Amino acid sequence: MELSYCTNVHPAEDLDGIIEQLDVHAGPVRAAAGLDALGVGLWIPADTAAVLAADASARGRLSAALERNALTLRTINAFPYRGFHDDVVKLAVYRPDWTSAERLRYTLDCATLLAALLPEGASGSISTLPLGWRVGWDADADAAAEAALGALVDGLQEIERRTGRTVRVGIEPEPGCILDDVADVVAWLGARPHLTADGLLGLCLDTCHLAVSFADPTAAVAAAERAGVRIVKVQASVALEVTDPSADGTLEALAPFAEARYVHQVRARPAASVPEFAADDLPEVLAADPAWPTDRPWRVHVHIPLHATPAPPLRATTEVLRAAVDAVLQTPHGRDAHLDVETYTWTVLPDHLQPDSLVEGIAAELRWATTQLAPALTLPAEVTTP
């Protein structure tokens, strides 16, 4: 897997801002991590993606910024549409959903610009939302999403014919969405084999989301493989776990993670013959009456830095990341998947998890990945202008 880090941690809504991210953050991160070259997973808001898809000179500016910072582009995060660093994002991150023409157009714009900027001989990947948020979804919405994803596959095929470059899109399951976990994606795509037949539409495995679902990583990856759902991208991330919620100070330890910008879904480990305990955001758990059960672990959708060690009674689900990467590597196309470090939460983490600088924090994650996940990783040998 080729290693990259995702730029959705940085706010930028236009091309100048994205280029500044590369010069001020991504290039220095690469140097601080001690790497001669590094992959970067761009987040490009919809309006800027449209400009880059249509304007070769704009793509040239972006390509030059990548080259001078010794960065390669293999993957794009096209989950957030725009405004990912607004003061309050919450459920807006799931709009527009896959029933809309805007979502299809945005994703194809990202595929067009990615195909133009890929290194010679490389394939690309794009991650996208799991259809939409579950509230209000019905059979008509499901049919519209299926049609839109069919049009996406047609568009990806056309890009491949026109450019000779392959760009794949991975649906990224997330708690609370229509496709809540890997099993949901496998079932939904498995029932629609026309969407996955040529391998252009598959799965993006976010290992924080995987952990929150309490799914077994090895079994989840095996199920995708059996269903013919290709894993095109792995988002390297870890969740927050409360192993023993009965421990003193549990709610006080969680409280600093309940912030205003992003949703932080919570799940309790499933248990036989008891109700499911699921919350769409951490404040619901902190204020729950009656309180959540304390006889089994809880996991929270908070992207914790890969190298971080939260203080007890909290911990990070690093073992899920390791197991997922190992399992993906066993699949026929596992080494072609892209491994993107996606800790977008740096700006909202509690003070005790903040680094001296964002550059050093991200560099520390990459150093951790290159040592702890070393057998899985490759790094760009050189950077060349497309």
Residue 125 near residue 337 (C-beta atoms within 8 A): yes
**From CA 74, how far away is CA 117, in angstroms rounded?**
8
How many CB atoms neighbour CB 386 within 10 A? 16
Averaged pLDDT score across all residues of the chain: 95
- With cut-offs at 50, 70 and 90, classify the pLDDT of residue 384: very low
Q: pLDDT per residue over 8-25, tens digit each?
A: 999 999 999 999 999 999
pLDDT at 381: 59
- Once rounded to an integer, what is the mean pLDDT over residues 149-168? 98
Neighbours of 245 (CB within 10 A): 20
199 exposure class (CB count in 10 Å sphere: 0-12, 13-18, 19+) = middle
pLDDT of res. 382: 52
Q: Which residues pair with 6 in a beta bridge?
A: 41
pLDDT tens-digit profile of 307-326? 999 999 999 999 999 999 99
Q: What is the pLDDT of residues 213-236, one digit of tens each?
A: 999 999 999 999 999 999 999 999
pLDDT at 383: 46
Record: fold of 2-238+304-376:
TIM Barrel (3.20.20)
Percentage of the chain lying above the pLDDT 70 cut = 98
Give the pLDDT mean for 292-302. 96
What pLDDT, on the 0 to 100 scale, is given for residue 153?
98
For residue 307, the tally of other CB atoms under 10 A from its CB is 18
Residue 53 reports pLDDT greater than 50? yes
Model pLDDT, residue 386: 43
- 169-198 average pLDDT score: 97
Residue 84 has pLDDT above 70, yes or no: yes
Give per-residue pLDDT as tens, 87-146: 999 999 999 999 999 999 999 999 999 999 999 999 999 999 999 999 999 999 999 999
1 contacts: CB under 8 Å, gap ≥ 6: 234, 325, 328, 329, 334, 335, 337, 338, 339, 376, 377, 378
Residues 177, 244: Cα–Cα separation, whole Å: 27
Question: What pLDDT, on a 0 to 100 scale, did the predictor assign at position 385?
Answer: 40
- Tell me what percent of the chain is helix, strand and coil, each rounded to the nearest 5: 45, 15, 40
